[in-house]
Chains A and B, each alone.
Chain A
Amino acid sequence: MHMTRRPDADVASLLPLTPVVFEILLALGGGEQHGYAIMQDVAERTGGRIELHAGSLYRALSRLLEGGFIEELDERPAAAHDDQRRRYYRLTLLGTAVARAEAERLEAQLAVARERRLFRRHT
């Protein structure tokens, strides 16, 4: 069953996200990416703690596609220099909203932690 949610759907009901999904959304936050680039981005940012391989990544991507969080690009950027077999993905409005909501949720938690001196670093 495919159900495409619209951005005004109740994003709060989708929270909290699993760390892996959030990381993927974060990776796509910087703009459209192909599969391998997402893997690299996530691995670099998490210092290798979350290391995605093809099986996990594409199963997650298939879920995110089904849920309408991301979409596949029809055209590929700079096609001439690119490998035809790559597929590119970008955030949908819903995806952006959910990622934003998750970030806000985490920020709220952080704020409490900071207030109660459970988090030292200040930015």
Chain B
Amino acid sequence: MTRASLVLFRALLAAYPRRFRRRFAEAMEQSFREGYAHAATAGTAAALVFVVRACIDTGVNAVALRAVRLRDRVLWPDPIGLHQQKRTSDMWWQILVSDARYAFRMFRRNPVFAALAVVALGLGIGANTAIFTLVDSVLLRPLPYAHPDRLVMIWSSNEREHRDRDVVSPLDFMDFKRASAFSSVEAAYSFVIGGTWISKTGAEPITFTAVTSQLFETLGRAPILGRTFTPDDLQTGVLISYDFWQKRLGGDSAVLGRVLNIQYQPRTIVGVMPKDFIFPYRAMLGPSGFSSSLSVDMWFPLAFVDDNAFTRATATAPLSRQVRMLSVIARLADGHTREQASAELQGIARQIRGTHADTNGNIGVSIVPAHEQAVGSVRPALLLLVGGVGLVLLMSCINVANMLLARSTSRQRELAIRSALGAGRNRLIVQTLVESVLLGGLGGLMALAFLRLSVHGIVALAPPELPRLGEISPDMSVLLFAAALSVITGVATGLVPAFASSRGDVNSGLKQAGRSATSGRGQQRVRSALVILEAALAVVLTVSAGLLVRSFVSILSTDPGFQVEHLLTLQLTIPPKYNGTEQRRTMYADLEARLRAIPGVTDVGGTTRLPLGSTNVSTKINIEGRSVPPSQWPEAEFRRSVFDYFSTMGIPLRRGRLFTKQDGPNAPPVCVINETMARQMFAGIDPVGRRIKFGSADGPWVTIVGVIGDIRHSALDAPPQPEVYINYLVNPPSNPFIVLKTNADPASIVPAVRAQLQAVDKDIASNDIRPMTGVLSNSVAERRFILLLAVSFGVLSLLMAAVGVYGVMALVVSERAPEMAIRLALGASPSRVLQQVLQYGLVLAGAGAALGVAVSAVVAPSMRSLLFGVRPVDPFTFIAVPSLVVAVAVAACAGPAWRSMRVDPVRALRME
């Protein structure tokens, strides 16, 4: 007996009334076991059939029992009543089969209706299944670690700068390891490094990070080849990713022990991680965190070194409390809750604060579940999509329900005859429901047929930064979801028509013989209500989409503070043979001369942190003449300017001067700050000429020589932060971004740029060569993706509303053709008839729009986190969108209205 079927059966037993359950549940389960054992002797297929039948039977009877007081009106003809009142010897599945056969006959007789209904439901179910796949993969599925619910991230919190998830300093990390609430506490670089692998064919870009040696054990994942790190590996070992192994090393099975030249150092491969292993997720990195790539190619063992011996390129971390550079991940010990762990960590943080007030004066600690950390940021947007796509499905249900209703009107005679021949009301209800569930099922099949395609589409549209993008794929739960949704959709679609049509009066139904059928007052009211509801839903969906569009427009119209056009950007890795600053300066001079000589290049600049495309690193600012303890020093983003960075980028100078070639190592140290820093740290005074120090108390005083305009660095919708720049000549960076101003298409000079880099030194690796417009577009990719989906749902909803209104109005017009004919014959002007029809449509759409506006006003504030530069109840959107919906609805009325005006009195009356 498979556990699953027993669990399912027990779940169904839970649906029985308690008294019944107490008395029979055990015996029922026993007979189920025995039946299963018997069926299983005939093979797996027979066992499966048995389980399906037994479960449906058990479910159905639970419903029947629950409804026993209403027995005569129950949904089910009762084959085990004591008295034989009707022809009820059929078992329930025989009834279902005959109803299904009947439904298929109806579909064949009316293929257009059936096809339309299946397509409408299929679209709705398909869109929902695709979005569910996305949500399931990103939000619901556990992270690819063992017992991921016991994993948490530990962050330092900086009360002064209001950052609650700041990266952790190595010494703080070591103190956190003492906490007994965790079975292990491990750390990784809070950033990913773009490095260089010298392969046989030359310098190739790679990405890597460094992790403490027990990190893989903490995550509960082992390599598929080789082993994890041992203490002997610190200087020489490396673990590679499955992708790197397959794509860059050709899946070589003898890969263990192979030595790679990485960062110009030999590294021995000790293991290969499994294909589905991902660490870190982007959101697990600190604010200084990511390169443009999504996953790392390899992991280095993280070695802790003396504060002075630290260089990032060799995977070391300084034993310091000042330099915050670690993402810390920990596994809760058995029997400990997150709250206990948090309390214990708070205690440790307080202790550190007491003993190291200079560095940890404002530093607390916070703890976040690993899953929440990885995907929490996209949850609101995905939930918005789930809501939107759900409404779209509701609208397709309404449309199909309306079609079923309309058809049931024209089938009234048939239904009347069936009911006169003895079909009870229940049978008619069941019949209609069977039909609509079949439509839903066919729609579901259609949705599944296109599932792979639609998921591929979503993945292709999705921004590369979407967390867990690579893990998006339909699995068993998606299939179950689609199946359940199909049934629910079918039932939901059929309920209204089922009850509405079964209420038909036999007598009048039969009397209408020979006359065209018209729907009763009640049915018309139901249909009008459905149309109003549909218009309201369309308003809600389109208002949401409209708000997102307005946010997007206001983001794109945000001035980034620099010229985006005609800029080419790239990142370089300078080999360590240039490790002397003088050697680097010489190389930089050569590089600048060669880049300036490229035809089409008008200006050359560079920096250590490219806006909208890279990360952040901040430093404490000690301002001369202010007696503030180090823990109270303000922070600023720290960058270096390379060549003529500000003029190349078009960043304006506000005060003082920019750097010159004279601001070298032998000149007095100078820096340039941005307007936000000038405003926040030098309110009311001229910062030019003032002196500051970076970070620690020792080091030279640096004079501020200029103030430049603010730029948007992290994102277009993130406000500018204080920034300070020093000139590259003081200590030329080894991982600079280069920007080239061109007077032609930036892409056209890429080959020339590569050639010149080769000419400088063939070991210089270049990454991410792309125009600045691409960098900017990439920075809004996630928002654009959500927007695209939301807008397509909005458009779909408008379409559905139009179809719904059209359908109802067409029916109204065709039913009332005789009445119109009489009016026209009696001399009413055609335009008056037209006006009446349009008016009716306008009233329905107007009522729907009003309802939709009310609902939107309630719902919109929950979207606040997704909006930018627009209030949730945005007057423009709230007026424009309902008007659009009403206009679409009235346009949908136009066809039927036009026909109503052209009713031929003679023909219409003759039909009577």
One of A18, A51, A83, A85 near B80 (C-beta < 8 A)? A18
Our pick among A14, A19, A53, A54 for the contact of B83 (Cβ within 8 Å) is: A14
> Contact between B82 and A18 (Cβ–Cβ < 8 Å)?
yes
Which of chain B's residues 32-50 have a Cβ closer than 8 Å to chain A? 32, 34-35, 38
Given contacts A55-B57, A56-B57, are A36 and B83 in contact (CB under 8 A)?
A: no
Q: Is the interface of A mostly helix, strand, loop or mixed?
A: helix
CB contacts (< 8 Å) of A61 on chain B: these are: 24
A14 and B30 contacting across the interface, CB-CB below 8 Å: no
B65: chain A residues within 8 A (beta carbon): 59
The smallest beta-carbon distance between B51 and chain A, in angstroms, is 10
A26 CA to B157 CA in the complex, in Å?
78
Nearest-neighbour CB distance to chain A for B38, whole angstroms, equals: 8
Residues of B within 8 A of A14 (CB): 82-83
Q: Is the CB of A35 within 8 A of B28?
A: yes
Chain B CB within 8 A of A101 CB: no
A112 on the interface (CB 8 Å rule)?
Answer: no
Q: Would you call B29 an interface residue if the criterion is a C-beta within 8 Å of the partner chain's C-beta atoms?
A: yes
- Digitize B54-94: 1 where CB-to-A-CB distance is under 8 Å, 0 elsewhere: 10011111101100000000000001111110001101000
Bound form: Cα–Cα A121–B441 in Å = 47
- Return the CB mask of A45-84 against B: 1 if under 8 Å, else 0: 0000011011111111111100100000000000000010
Check: A39 CB closer than 8 A to any chain B CB.
Answer: yes
Kindly name the residue among B9, B12, B61, B65 whose own CB sees the greatest number of chain A CB atoms within 10 A: B61
Q: Give bound CA distance, A36 to B24, whole Å.
A: 13
- Tally A-B pairs: CB < 8 A: 95
Is B246 an interface residue, CB under 8 A from the partner?
no
Is the Cβ of B84 less than 8 Å from the Cβ of A17? Answer: yes
Contact B31 A39 (CB under 8 A): yes
Interface range on chain A (Cβ under 8 Å from partner) = 20 to 34
Q: Report if A35-B79 is in contact (Cβ < 8 Å); known contacts: A16-B84, A55-B57, A59-B65.
A: no
Q: Are A60 and B80 in contact (CB under 8 A)?
A: yes
Bound form: Cα–Cα A55–B81 in Å: 14
**Most B C-beta atoms less than 10 A away, residue of A18, A55, A56:** A55
Q: Are the C-beta atoms of B80 and A58 separated by less than 8 Å? A: no
**In the complex with contacts A18-B83, A35-B30, A85-B29, A55-B91 CB distance below 8 A:** no
A55 and B28 in contact, given A18-B81, A60-B80, A67-B82 (Cβ under 8 angstroms): yes
Residues of A within 8 A of B57 (CB): 53-56
Residue B20 at the chain A interface, CB threshold 8 Å: yes
B26 interface residue per 8 A CB criterion: yes
With an 8 A cutoff between CB atoms, is A114 at the interface? Answer: no
C-alpha gap A67/B80 in the complex (Å): 13
Give the distance in Å from the alpha carbon of A18 to the alpha carbon of B28 in the complex: 22
Q: CB-defined interface of A9-30 with B at 8 Å, one 1/0 digit per residue?
A: 0000010111111000000000
**Closest A residue by C-beta to B9:** A54
Indicate if B23 sits at the interface (CB-CB under 8 A).
Answer: yes
CB of A87 closer than 8 Å to a CB of B: yes
User: Are B80 and A56 in touch, CB under 8 angstroms?
Assistant: yes
A55-B82 CB under 8 A given contacts A35-B30, A85-B29: no
Q: Within the complex, what minimum Cβ distance (angstroms) separates B25 from chain A?
A: 9
Candidates A16, A20, A39, A87; contact of B79 at CB < 8 Å? A20
Q: How far is the CB of B8 from chain A (nearest CB, A)?
A: 13
**Residue on B nearest A66 in the bound complex, by CB:** B82
Chain B proximity of A119: nearest CB distance (Å): 19
**A86 contacts the other chain (CB 8 A):** yes
Chain A neighbourhood of B84, CB < 8 A: 16-19
Q: With A18-B79, A18-B89 in contact, do A55 and B58 touch (Cβ < 8 Å)? A: yes
In this complex, what residue of B is CB-closest to A57? B31
Q: Mark B1-36, 1 if CB is under 8 A from A, else 0.
A: 000000001001000000010011011111110110
Q: How far is the CB of A3 from chain B (nearest CB, A)?
A: 13
**In the docked arrangement, what's the CA distance between A63 and B62, Å?**
14
B312 is an interface residue with CB less than 8 A from chain A: no
Q: A35 contacts which of B31, B53, B82 (Cβ < 8 Å)?
A: B31
B27, B29, B38, B53: residue with the most chain A Cβ atoms closer than 10 Å: B27
Q: Looking at the complex, which one of B31, B61, B62, B88 makes contact with A36 (CB distance below 8 Å)?
A: B31
Contacts of A57 in B (CB 8 A): 28, 31
Between-chain CB contacts (< 8 Å), 25 pairs? A16-B83, A21-B82, A34-B27, A34-B31, A35-B28, A36-B31, A36-B34, A40-B38, A51-B53, A53-B35, A54-B9, A54-B28, A54-B32, A54-B35, A54-B54, A55-B54, A55-B60, A55-B61, A56-B57, A56-B79, A57-B31, A61-B24, A62-B20, A62-B24, A63-B80
Apart from A55-B57, A58-B24: 10 A-B pairs, beta carbons within 8 A = A14-B82, A18-B84, A20-B79, A20-B80, A54-B32, A54-B35, A54-B58, A55-B60, A55-B61, A62-B20
9 closest cross-chain pairs (CB), A and B:
A55-B61, A53-B57, A55-B58, A36-B31, A54-B28, A85-B30, A36-B34, A60-B80, A87-B27
